[in-house]
Amino acid sequence: GRDPRIQAILPIRGKILNVEKARIDRVLANTEVQAIISALGTGIHEDFDLDKCRYHKIVMMADADVDGHHIRTLLLTLLFRFMKPLIEAGYVYLAQPPLYRLKWSSPHPHEFVYSDREKDALTAAGLAAGKRMPKENNIQRYKGLGEMNADELWETTMDPDNRVLLQVTLDDAAQADEIFSILMGEDVEQRRSFIQRNAKDVRFLDI
């Protein structure tokens, strides 16, 4: 996926440090955090300089499951607490790896889908339109980015011509600050209460 003309890729080993719970010296000593700060080139806090940012599109890639959502939340917490202007400037994006690939018989191209509901809807619509599926391997489920081969990873998630990105925006800074404190902070009861109040509004719940 690396291409010196358009994009670089920084692999992160597992889940990074939860900066909401850590002291600043521990944050800055963390290897993964150091790598991110160095790669972006902006510095942090009072030393932050948006003009020094090496990339104007910072894309977070993680699996499309609960663990992947947790990793994205940890990364967003780091950016929100230490490099918030990146979010305010619209530089931060979330990659959307597909959950499935629908394989249609020739001449119809395959389709990537991003939810179970979309899979069912596209399958029904395709069959109703007269498309046919091969008898074997007609629906492929992607378990995670790390289990894709290089070609699949490029085609589904890294190719600028085909990938699906969601831009991270900051509409209400005060509310965002409160939510990060609740979800990533030390107060377990406050976090549980927030999740219970908002459970109906989320697709994945893992308490």
Give the CA distances from residue 156 to residues 11, 102, 149, 152, 165, in Å, rounded to whole numbers and listed in that order.
Answer: 17, 13, 11, 6, 11
- What CATH number should be reported for the domain holding residue 126? 3.30.1490.440
Q: What span, in angstroms and rounded, lies between the C-alpha atoms of 165 and 103?
A: 23
Burial of 93-114, coded b for 16+ CB within 10 Å and e otherwise, reads: bbbbbbbbbbbbeeeeeebbbe
**How distant is the alpha carbon of residue 63 from its chain centre?**
7
Indicate whether 132 and 71 sit together in one domain: no
40 & 61 share domain: yes
Residue 102 sits at the vertex; the CA angle it makes with 111 and 152, to the nearest 5 degrees, is: 70
Q: What is the pLDDT along the chain (207 residues), one digit of tens a residue?
A: 677 788 888 988 777 888 877 888 888 899 999 999 999 999 998 999 999 999 999 999 888 777 777 788 888 889 988 999 999 999 999 888 888 889 898 888 888 888 888 889 999 999 999 998 888 878 888 877 777 888 888 888 888 888 889 898 887 555 666 666 666 666 656 656 655 555 555 544 444
* Residue 66 covered by a domain: yes
Asked if residue 82 belongs to a domain, the reply is: yes
Q: What is the predicted pLDDT for the residue at 59?
A: 94
Q: Is residue 186 in a domain? A: yes
Same domain, 84 and 30: yes
50 lies in which domain range?
24-97+160-201
Task: Determine the distance from the C-alpha atom of residue 45 to the mean position of all C-alpha atoms in its chain, rounded to a whole number.
Answer: 23
pTM equals 0.75
Same structural domain, 62 and 73: yes
Same domain? For 29 and 85 the reply is yes
Total domains, the chain:
2
**What's 69's domain CATH number?**
3.40.50.670
Q: Are residue 111 and residue 122 in the same domain, yes or no? A: yes
In a domain, residue 17? The reply is no
Among 93, 24, 30, 84, which Cα is nearest to 57's? 93
| Preceding omega of 98 cis (within 30 degrees of 0) | no
Domain co-membership, 33 together with 81:
yes
Looking at the fold, whether 55 and 73 belong to one and the same domain comes out as: yes
pLDDT of residue 145: 79
Q: Do 47 and 91 share a structural domain?
A: yes
> Could you tell me if residue 111 is inside a domain?
yes
pLDDT at 40: 96
CA–CA separation, 147 and 153 (whole Å) = 9
